[in-house]
Amino acid sequence: MGGTMTVQGGCPLYGTAEVPAAKNSVLPLLAASVLCSGPVRLEQVPRLSDVEDCLSILRAVGCAAAWEGEDLAVSGPPSCCRMPLAETARMRASVLFAAPLLARLGRVETALPGGCRIGARPVDWHLMALEQMGAQVAQAGERLVLTAPAGLHGTEFCLPGPSVGATETVMLAGCAARGKTLLHGAAREPEIFDLAQFLNRCGGRVQGAGTDEITIEGPCTLRGISYRPMPDRICASTLACAVAAARGWVTIAGCSPVLYAPVLDILERAGCTVVRGQDSARVGRMGTLRGAGYLVTGGYPDLATDAAPLVAAALLSAEGSTLIEDRVFEARFGCAEGFAAMGAAVKASGRKLRVEGGGPLRGAAVTARDLRGGAALVVAALGAQGKTRIAGCEYIARGYAGLGEMLGGLGARIE
Ligand code: EPZ
């Protein structure tokens, strides 16, 4: 779903939506599969452009990677250390392939990763950790060449700041490194726990995932397994915010409410009805919503940075103001321009977005500038009167296999 999307606002949402597998778990799992000695099957994977980019990277380095129905089958050791520039430069998660390829081949030629322009997003902490584990890093312009002629060895590493990706890089390198790796200041996101569970089922020895202290006993031979990645808590958050914006009653199935508790709590405080189940949540909105006041994002279990634009979109017409500060990325609110075009009283400054709320939204022509900001424009359009045309939908396709179809199945009128 590239190009543009047209949303006819004012249609309440009813029904049940199944939450797909999490993009931010599937991508690291695909990088981890490079370390496995046997074939890996990931079950029920959504067709995301970021996933397709990872398959291209895997094929370019000599692995076999193909869809088998809704599953992904990846096999074969890598034989080439040059990562393809286009995919590497386009997608942030390409950095996750560096450690496994370096561990398997002793060398990897990659590039500074791209990804949504929500901040500088350097990879210095990934490289610091790998250097401390025996890698040499040479940077020539945009290209990065990592070598480890003597292989990788365990280390004790303190992350300078919370980083999901850098935590995953250390976990992957630690599985191949000789000796023990101890990581302080690890990110605690559920996707980290999912990666550790995968690695341990393959024969790895990763302890402490989900806490800020992770230990990995290496080297370990990882066999291939079949694995179902965890559900996408940001997709679940998108659905909850969509109901809050559009009105209606929706069951969000296949994702524990615990995984996106801050979003559900905020919407409930704003006036939505939330019924939490074991593996699903029912979210309803009938009347007027109230502003949520001051909100701050942070590492799990705080409000996810990826959900910030979505919560803002749900509260654009609420009675009362909402102020969201993103403490993870410095440029998360590119979507504010689109919100304003729809008539919302918003003001973005640095890491903060202020939503005055109150007024009705009207359809407009807007452009997505990043993945979650694009999804937030769709959510806002559901609650606007009239038609909204959203350009730049290729950004949305990076993280949603069919956001229009998913919402259409609940009664939204989207082409
Ligand atoms: C992951 O990005 C996710 N992507 C992001 O989701 C998510 O927003 C982010 O984690 C935070 O939860 C994937 O998992 C593929 P970080 P990542 O390293 O790993 C700084 C989406 O919409 N930093 O936790 O890149 C960095 O600049 C995407 O699905 C360094 O300074 O995020 C940022 O300010 C967007 N040096 C902060 O840390 C480094 O070496 C957190 O980044 C690494 C990170």
Nearest CA to ligand 1 atom 20: 121
Q: Are 31 and 236 in contact (CB under 8 A)?
A: no
* pLDDT reading at 236 higher than 90: yes
Instruction: Evaluate whether 72 touches 88 at the Cβ level (below 8 Å).
Output: no
Query: Is the pLDDT assigned to residue 120 strictly greater than 80?
Result: no
Assess whether pLDDT exceeds 90 at residue 322. yes
Tokens read off for 272: 């939505």
Residue span(s) of the chain under CATH 3.65.10.10 come to: 5-20+231-414, 23-227
For residue 113, the model assigns a pLDDT of 74
Give the pLDDT score at 205.
98
Specify the CATH number of the domain 23-227. 3.65.10.10
Choose among 87, 165, 82, 85: nearest CA to 126: 165
Cα of 255 vs its chain's centroid, Å = 15
Find the range with the poorest average confidence among 6-10, 57-61, 117-121, 273-277: 117-121
Question: For the chain, what is the mean pLDDT?
Answer: 95
Contact predicate 229/25, CB 8 Å: yes
Q: Is residue 70 within 8 Å of 45, Cβ to Cβ?
A: yes
pLDDT of residue 385 exceeding 90, the answer is yes
- The answer on pLDDT for 397 being more than 70 is yes
Burial 149-185 (b: 16+ CB within 10 A, else e): eeebbbbebebeebbbbbbbbbbbbbbbbeeebbbeb
* 166 Cβ inside 6 Å of ligand 1: yes
pLDDT of residue 253: 98
**Tokens describing residue 137:** 């890093």
Cα–Cα–Cα angle for 247, 252, 257, rounded to 5 degrees: 110
Q: Are 48 and 23 in contact (CB under 8 A)?
A: yes
Q: Give per-residue pLDDT as tens, 258-314.
A: 999 999 999 999 999 999 999 999 999 999 999 999 999 999 999 999 999 999 999
Residue 117 CB–ligand 1 contact under 6 Å: no
Alpha-carbon distances of 161 from 34, 87, 137, rounded to whole Å: 27, 27, 21
- What pLDDT does 1 receive? 47
Lowest mean pLDDT among 172-176, 237-241, 296-300, 330-334: 330-334
CATH of 5-20+231-414, one of 3.65.10.10, 3.90.650.10, 3.40.50.2300, 3.30.428.10: 3.65.10.10
Residue 185 CB less than 6 A away from ligand 1: no
Any atom of ligand 1 within 6 Å of the Cβ of 160: no
329 CA to middle of ligand 1, Å? 8
pLDDT surpasses 80 at 2: no
- pLDDT tens, residue by residue, 337-350: 999 999 999 999 99
Active site residues per annotation: 116
Look at ligand 1, atom 25, and give the residue with the nearest C-alpha: 165
Whether 188 is in the pocket of ligand 1, judged by its Cβ within 6 Å, is no
Mean pLDDT of 16-42: 98
What value does the mean pLDDT take over residues 393-414? 96
- Residue nearest atom 16 of ligand 1, based on CA coordinates: 163
Residue 358 pLDDT level (bands cut at 50, 70, 90)? confident
CA of 249 to the centre of ligand 1 (A): 33
**Residue owning the nearest CA to atom 38 of ligand 1:** 163
pLDDT at 92: 84
From the list 355, 388, 384, the residue with the least C-alpha distance to 270 is 355
Q: Is the CB of 119 under 6 A from ligand 1?
A: yes
Per-residue confidence (pLDDT) for residue 226, from 0 to 100: 98
Nearest alpha-carbon partner for 260 in 292, 296, 232, 282: 232
For 68-90, how does the pLDDT look when each residue is reduced to its tens digit (9 = 90+)?
999 999 998 999 999 999 999 88
* 34 pLDDT higher than 90: yes
pLDDT of 166 over the 50 cut: yes
Q: What is the mean pLDDT of residues 193-218?
A: 98
Q: What separation in Å is there between the alpha carbon of 305 and the centre of ligand 1?
A: 9
